[in-house]
Amino acid sequence: MQNKREDIINLYAGHVSPGKVDTYRKYDITLVPAARGGCYICDMNGRKFINCHCNGGVFNLGHRNERIIRAVAEAMKEYDIGNHHLISKPKAECASLLASTMPKGLTQVVFGVSGGEAIDLAIKLARGVTGRSGIISAKGGYHGHTGFALATGDAKFNDKFGPMPPGFSQVVFNDIGAMEKAVTRDTAAVILETIPATMGIVLPDKKYFLEVKNICKKHGALLILDEVQTGFGRTGTMWGFEHFNVVPDIVVLGKGMSGGIYPISATVYHERYADFFRKDPFVHISTFGGSEIGCFAAMETIKISKSEKFLSNVRTMGNYFKKEFTRLGKQYPNIGLNVRGIGLMMGMEFKDEMTALFILKLLFDEGVYLVYSGNDPRVLQFLPPLVVTMPIAKKIIKAVHTAFAKMG
Ligand SMILES: Cc1ncc(COP(=O)(O)O)c(C=O)c1O
């Protein structure tokens, strides 16, 4: 098996990504998933890991959730990807179910395949309905690696591929004064993650989004909230923006929407903009967007995620982890830990990048897999499956304790 594993790694390096293989080998954190289920992924070499990143929420329901697999398997008996030119029962029903979980007025749904595609559509829609080009995003934020989504991001991701389309600018997140200065009559939209993950799981002030929405309203701009990571129960409510008393004009969904089984994303927007696509329904199309099989995965995911029992587990476990991490942080003050987050969207910020990287490696050695925030490597992102149970949580805390003790 070990030889087979090496062969796979070499094949991957040869044909997919030599750079990733080099990096993982350098830090001795190579993981080649084989069997997976619930909170666990098992390397080809037999080592078991608790997945505490979940690919930013893709595996909110754990790996290979039985209900999602059953829904997709049933759908496969009758359906296929579907035809985006035609009217579709699964698409209609999925959109209606999704809309029923949203605040009043957010009734319109365009399906996509990936988060980046759904972001692009949100920006196209904002530009289309306002007739303006200005798009304001947050420094250090992340909305995807393609098209307009890439243009919202930091230079380090896009300056090799320039020039980016005009009209894009960035402001400091959670600085309402900066936003006030940036939004003008040329602004089509402000786009923000509800809790920016790549920035380092940064929590905005309670009133921030409401104030941003008011600034947008004053200037006739739209507020787009990216819920690709915060959606589907990650923060203990169905949508992350529910914590901030704000209703965005457009919401972008991805990752967790697929139940970890079949890719699907969505842009949900207010019905006051519905005329835009009514006039020209073919101005945006996506061949695979909202595949009918994907719609079944999404409908089952929505049904699971909106249940109060499910959401209450997220809140209970989130409180437990926060309490335990804080306690361990106090016990080992040398690591300079600052814990933050809502529900099970948490960031562990350490005193410096090196400490965070060592802790990541020590946790890996203890069988806990997580990653750091791309734009702030001092922060480890802690996003376990939302179905995590107390016995598994205790194993995670034990591993974290061991890692902190070795560093502290
Ligand atoms: C907040 C956020 N928005 C958008 C995206 C882009 O999604 P995708 O990779 O599916 O295009 C990501 C991906 O990591 C993300 O974290």
Q: Rounded to whole angstroms, how far apart are CA atoms 117 and 111?
A: 9
Is 273 found in the same domain as 194?
yes
**Is 20 inside a domain boundary?**
no
The domain total for the chain is 2
Q: What are the structure tokens assigned to 255, written together?
A: 């990752």
| pLDDT higher than threshold 80 for residue 371 | yes
pLDDT at 192 over 90: yes
pLDDT value of position 1: 61
Q: Examine the domain organization and report whether 342 and 289 are in the same domain.
A: no
Picking from 250, 285, 305, the residue at the C-terminal end of a domain is 305
- Atom 7 in ligand 1: residue holding the nearest Cα: 115
Q: Do residue 263 and residue 314 come from a single domain? A: no
Domain that holds residue 356: 31-64+310-407
Q: How far apart are CA 63 and CA 194, in angstroms?
A: 25
Which CATH number covers residue 250? 3.40.640.10
Atom of ligand 1 nearest to the CA of 230: 1
Residue 45 shares a structural domain with residue 73 = no
Q: Who contacts 127 (Cβ-Cβ below 8 Å, separation ≥6)?
A: 133, 135, 188, 189
Q: How many CB atoms lie within 10 A of CB 298?
A: 31
> Which residue type occupies 42?
C
For 260, 287, 363, 374, the CA distances from 292, given in Å and listed in that order, are: 16, 11, 39, 34
Establish if 16 belongs to a structural domain. Answer: no
Q: What's the 147 CA to ligand 1 centre distance in angstroms?
A: 13
Q: Does residue 2 have a pLDDT over 70? A: no
Q: Do 132 and 264 sit in the same domain of this protein?
A: yes
Q: How far is 302 from 298, CA to CA, in rounded Å?
A: 6
Q: Which of 153, 155, 146 is nearest to 197 (CA)?
A: 153
Atom of ligand 1 nearest to the CA of 254: 10
Give the pocket of ligand 1 (CB within 6 Å).
Answer: 56, 114-116, 119, 142-144, 193, 197, 226, 228-229, 254
Same domain as 173, residue 239: yes
Angle between helices 390-407 and 308-331 (to 10 degrees): 20
Report whether pLDDT(231) > 70: yes
* Atom in ligand 1 nearest the alpha carbon of residue 198: 16
Give, for ligand 1, the residue of 143, 146, 154, 198 to mutate: max count of ligand atoms closer than 8 Å to Cβ: 143
**Together in a domain, 326 and 247:** no
Residue 318 lies in a domain: yes
Ligand 1 centroid to residue 55 C-alpha, Å: 10
pTM: 0.97
Tell me whether residue 100 is in a domain.
Answer: yes
Looking at the DSSP bridge assignments, the partners of residue 348 are 339, 380
**Of 260, 276, 305, which marks where a domain is finished?**
305
Ligand 1 midpoint to CA 176 (Å): 25
Protein residue closest via CA to atom 13 of ligand 1: 144
Asked whether residue 22 is assigned to any structural domain, the reply reads no
Same structural domain, 366 and 402: yes
Q: Is residue 157 part of a domain?
A: yes
Let me know if residue 355 belongs to a domain.
yes
**Percent of the chain residues topping a pLDDT of 90:** 98
Amino acid 408: pLDDT: 78
Tokens of 39: 């909170």
Contact assessment for residue 171 and residue 182, using Cβ atoms and an 8 Å cutoff: yes
Query: What is the distance in A from the centroid of ligand 1 to the CA of 331?
Result: 35
Assigned domain for 235 exists? yes
Q: Rounded CA gap, 214 and 176, in Å?
A: 11
**Tokens read off for 142:** 């992340």
Residue the block writes with tokens 């003008």:
184
Residue type, position 121, single letter: L
Q: Which of 239, 274, 305 is the last residue of a domain?
A: 305
Same domain? 345 vs 197 = no
> Pairing relation of β-strands 338-342 and 371-373?
unpaired
pLDDT tens for 14-71 read 999 999 999 999 999 999 999 999 999 999 999 999 999 999 999 999 999 999 999 9
Who contacts 358 (Cβ-Cβ below 8 Å, separation ≥6)? 407
**Which residue has better confidence, 236 or 2?**
236
Cα of 115 from ligand 1 centre, angstroms: 5
> Are residues 260 and 331 part of one domain?
no
* 137 and 238 part of one domain: yes
Report the share of the chain in percent with pLDDT over 70: 100
Alpha carbon of 141 to ligand 1 centroid (Å): 10
Cα 3 to averaged position of ligand 1 atoms, centre (Å): 34
Q: What is the pLDDT of residues 95-122, one digit of tens each?
A: 999 999 999 999 999 999 999 999 999 9
Residue of the nearest CA to atom 4 in ligand 1?
Answer: 143
Compute the distance from residue 225 Cα to the ligand 1 centre, in Å.
12
| Three-class DSSP labels, 218-249 | HHCCEEEEECCCCCCCCCCCCCHHHHHCCCCC
Counting atoms of ligand 1 from 1, which one is nearest the CA of 119? 4
Residues 358 and 321 grouped into a single domain:
yes
**pLDDT exceeds 90 at position 162:** no
Average pLDDT (232-240) is 98
Q: Distance between CA atoms of 17 and 210, rounded to whole angstroms?
A: 42
CATH number of 335's domain: 3.90.1150.10
